[in-house]
Amino acid sequence: MPRFALVLTAIMLAIAIAPRAMPGPHSALAQTADGTMAVVTEPAAPAPSAPGPLQAVLQANADAIAKPSRTTVDTVIAALLESNAPGAATFLAQWRDRGVVQRKADGLFFYGVETADGFSLTDPDTGKNTGNAAKADVTQLRPNSGVRGVLSSALVQFQLADPDIAVRESALIAIERGAEASQLEPLRASIEAESDAGLKARKTRLERLLTIQFDPSAEARIAAIESFAGDISVDVRAALNPLVATTPKAFAEVPAGTNVARALAPGGDIPLDDAYGLLVTAGLAQAAPTLAEMRAALIANRADGAVAGVPVAALGSQAARMDAYARLAAAGTVPPPVTEDAKRAALATVSIVAVYNEPDANVTAAAEATLASISRSLALNQTLDLALDALSLASIYFLAAIGLAITFGVMRVINMAHGEFIMIGAYTGYVVQQFITDYTLSILVALPLAFFIAALAGVAMERLVIRHLARRPLETLLATFGISIALQQIAKNIFGTQARPLTAPAWLDGAWVVNDVVSISTIRIAIFVLALIFLALLLFILARTRLGLEVRAVTQNPAMASSMGINPDRINMLTFGLGSGIAGIAGVAIGLFAKVTSDLGSGYIVQSFMTVVVGGVGNIWGTLAGASMIGSLQKVIEFFNPSNTLAAQTYMIIFIIIFIQFRPKGIIALKGRAAGD
């Protein structure tokens, strides 16, 4: 097996040259280039009397190296590998990176680093500096990108066994991105000697993936395929899916040994015309003229304002055209038309089957089985991922809606400007970042500040407007809408219409990745935690504090509460401040992952209303239930229709409208007389 021997040599060669290449050809040469003084003091070494082993190989292929093309580069690489010459890998790397020059005088190759007035040369065999050369005396080799690609993939084989783990890893990544058949053997050979356990596991896995694609032995492929049962990684699916890809074909009789996936019913699994087209391709039927072809034939055969005796003016219907064409065909002028019935009859005599592109039936069977097991495990993981997404969306809705729920519960008014308090919070975060450049610190400052500013705006609105519209909920709704459009426009006038960035600190940038399917970004985890904190905080305030007691009393029975000496004005003001403040916090959170614009809030306002309505009024758990339901519903619908989030929202709203039919007072409703009417 000469091929295998060749590869083995290459690897040994690579190992042999590796130490000298360290810490990489670039830096080695760079050092030399930096020390121009040293080069000058040392007299320029004369050309070595006898070329080194590497130079000998290079000289043997001098033409191919000096003017490389995709076709010739392979012979050079093969020659280099065969020669066992130390430094071959370094040479390949240098060649690829345009670091090789050829001296015009004697045609010898050197590594050359460009200096101010020429090149500083290094002997490829010894690695020693051999002095400078003027630009005119040498030719720099500039292989084109195709050649460089070939060189890179050849180099991967060397790098797989490189002592530097970083080099090995990058070689592995290169293979993962685009594998070639030639890489399978070096990869296999490098596994044994791999010292790093993590890298070894990756190499083993990659080896199995390459085996699936490139190994000549069906048994080895099947074993590799089966080893991936239940593995949901994207690369496995990418390796397996081509194996089960099929092409529809037509046969008068399916030849033995054809790897048939399934039979196709014309008109059902495959459109009638397509099936007939296969028949034509297979030479089993005569081509049917298409509508366009028939039309062209009619046009071509016009004579004296008529086609085959039918006046052109009468050809304004498909039936008339068919008739005229049939006459032409009867006269033998054009190929005869094929009717639908004829097509069906022709198809009835043959088999239309989907044939696997992969010829080996055992391999395709194994691939189908493994893919089936993968899809089961994929479904499980997707559900998990969906649950995480839903949880994250639910926490956003919870944060956005809870303030609204509190104010609605206590005062029975809908605050249409709630979304603008969210916007105020987001802009507060943005402005704080203009003054505090440390992102972590700025978020820590922005959160309480956003609460404070939004709460202030809320209290002002309650005192100036809402208080004067007591017990007129519809007017309140509209008045707060007026405030909403005014606030939005003011924000637009101040900050402009373009989106402002609210940058998350670096530690929030990443994602928690479980596997290729299940992952969630750190920001969303942070928002989830924030939602939990506020849930706990609000539960504490409502259940354990005087304010909470009074708020609950006003929520359940305002008249009774006021007769018990609770000042409803004060409660209204405080709850409005609290609710608006939380909206401000939600604004900072939302701003971290969405763009901060003046209509940031209005994008969440309807969902917030829905959350409150669906959840039920006057109960934190209700809001939580509402947010969870709406969040998961939206994600589930999006899952079934991923291309279309608009449709998802449409269906969700319709669902909510229907839901309200069955639970008009929400999931968690106050019962009895306190609920009122």
Query: Which residues make up the interface to another protein (CB under 8 A)?
Result: 295, 298-299, 302, 312-318, 321, 412-414, 416, 465, 468-469, 473-475, 477-479, 481-490, 492-493, 602, 606, 609-610, 613, 644, 646-647, 649-650, 653-654, 656-658, 660-662, 664, 671-673, 677
Q: What is the total residue count of the chain?
A: 677
Please give the sequence-ordered ranges of beta strands (E in DSSP) within 197-305, or none if there are none.
246-251, 260-263, 302-303
**Nearer Cβ to another protein (188/412):** 412
**Nearer Cβ to another protein (116/292):** 292
Interhelix angle 439-464/418-435, nearest 10 degrees: 140
The CA-atom distances, in angstroms, between 414 and each of 409, 471, 557 are 10, 12, 18
Amino acid 458 reads G
**Nearer Cβ to another protein (230/311):** 311
Q: How far is the CB of 665 from another protein (least distance, A)?
A: 9
> Distance between CA 527 and CA 496 in Å, rounded?
27
Count other Cβ atoms within 10 Å, centred on residue 380: 14
Q: How far is the CB of 140 from another protein (least distance, A)?
A: 50
DSSP 24-60: -HHHHHHHHHHTHHHHHHSPPPPPPSS--HHHHHHHH
Q: How far is the CB of 669 from another protein (least distance, A)?
A: 11
> Distance between CA 11 and CA 17 in Å, rounded?
10
Q: How far is the CB of 157 from another protein (least distance, A)?
A: 46
Q: How far is the CB of 538 from another protein (least distance, A)?
A: 22
CA dihedral 157, 163, 166, 171 (to 10 degrees): 10
Q: How far is the CB of 404 from another protein (least distance, A)?
A: 11
Closest to 551 measured CA to CA, from 567, 535, 537, 530:
567
**Nearer Cβ to another protein (49/661):** 661
Please give the sequence-ordered ranges of beta strands (E in DSSP) within 380-526, or none if there are none.
511-513, 519-521
Q: How far is the CB of 571 from another protein (least distance, A)?
A: 20
| Matching residue, tokens 């259940």 | 543
Q: How far is the CB of 201 from another protein (least distance, A)?
A: 46
**Nearer Cβ to another protein (490/533):** 490
Interhelix angle 88-96/70-83, nearest 10 degrees: 160
**Nearer Cβ to another protein (195/643):** 643
**Nearer Cβ to another protein (435/662):** 662
Three-class secondary structure of residue 511 per DSSP: strand
Q: How far is the CB of 476 from another protein (least distance, A)?
A: 8
Q: How far is the CB of 84 from another protein (least distance, A)?
A: 60
Q: How far is the CB of 621 from another protein (least distance, A)?
A: 17
Handedness of CA 29, 33, 39, 45 (dihedral sign): positive
Handedness of CA 305, 310, 313, 319 (dihedral sign): negative
Residues 6+ positions from 499 with CB-CB distance below 8 Å: 595, 596, 597
Which residues does residue 249 pair with via DSSP β-bridges, in sequence order?
A: 353
Three-class secondary structure of residue 418 per DSSP: helix
| Matching residue, tokens 């507060």 | 428
> Distance between CA 132 and CA 352 in Å, rounded?
71
Three-class secondary structure of residue 129 per DSSP: strand
**Nearer Cβ to another protein (192/677):** 677
**Nearer Cβ to another protein (70/492):** 492
Q: How far is the CB of 481 from another protein (least distance, A)?
A: 5
402, 466 in Cβ contact below 8 A? Answer: no
> Distance between CA 114 and CA 97 in Å, rounded?
13
**Nearer Cβ to another protein (234/654):** 654
**Nearer Cβ to another protein (293/360):** 293
> Distance between CA 42 and CA 377 in Å, rounded?
68
> Distance between CA 583 and CA 611 in Å, rounded?
14
Q: How far is the CB of 591 from another protein (least distance, A)?
A: 22
**Nearer Cβ to another protein (259/301):** 301
Amino acid 74 reads D
Q: How far is the CB of 72 from another protein (least distance, A)?
A: 47
**Nearer Cβ to another protein (124/666):** 666
Amino acid 394 reads A
The CA-atom distances, in angstroms, between 323 and each of 35, 308, 607 are 91, 9, 61
Count other Cβ atoms within 10 Å, centred on residue 182: 15
**Nearer Cβ to another protein (144/493):** 493
571, 550 in Cβ contact below 8 A? Answer: yes
> Distance between CA 385 and CA 377 in Å, rounded?
12
Q: How far is the CB of 604 from another protein (least distance, A)?
A: 12
Amino acid 37 reads M
> Distance between CA 291 and CA 221 in Å, rounded?
48
**Nearer Cβ to another protein (62/306):** 306
